[in-house]
């Protein structure tokens, strides 16, 4: 069973992730004490965290964490403006990233802590 949207938001707040903006079903966050963006997507039943595609080399490590599952196709959304773009199904380029779902708040905490270590280069 996936984590609820409200539990996801509360976990991110507890981890001191900063909210920058919310547009439709996308909320932009920054990792604590870093200028590394990620997005919370709520356009389906299970909230997903979307990270930059540059972290794809760490996807297996991140999805191997207890309670974390990766979506193995890119997530596309025009509102993820800090991410790179590519052509998906249309004619124009759209922002994209890697999506992950979580079973519980401990998984979110472990994921964010691991992502911080990766982003810091450690």
What does the pLDDT look like over 72-119, one tens digit per residue? 889 999 999 999 999 888 889 999 999 999 999 999 999 999 999 999
- Percent of all residues in the chain with a pLDDT value above 90, rounded to a whole number: 77
Q: Which residue has the tokens 């389906």?
A: 44
Q: How many domains does the chain have?
A: 1
Q: Structural domain of residue 57, as residue ranges?
A: 5-119
Token representation of residue 40: 């919370």
Give the integer Cα–Cα distance in Å for 48 and 119: 19
We report the CATH number of the domain holding residue 96 as 3.90.1150.40
- Mean pLDDT computed over 14-43: 92
- Mean pLDDT computed over 16-22: 93
pTM: predicted TM-score of the whole model, two decimal places:
0.92
Question: Where is 74: in which H helix or E strand?
Answer: strand 68-76
């Amino acid at each position: 069973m996936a984590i609820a949207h409200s539990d996801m938001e509360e976990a991110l707040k507890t981890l001191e992730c900063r909210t920058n903006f919310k547009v439709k079903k996308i909320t932009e966050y920054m990792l604590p004490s870093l200028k590394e963006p990620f997005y919370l997507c709520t356009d389906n039943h299970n909230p997903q965290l979307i990270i930059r595609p540059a972290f794809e080399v760490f996807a297996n490590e991140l999805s191997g964490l207890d309670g974390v599952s990766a979506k193995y196709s890119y997530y596309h959304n025009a509102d993820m403006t800090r991410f790179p773009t590519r052509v998906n199904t249309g004619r124009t380029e759209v922002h994209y990233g890697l999506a992950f779902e979580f079973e519980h708040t401990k998984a979110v905490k472990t994921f964010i802590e691991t992502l911080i270590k990766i982003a810091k280069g450690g």
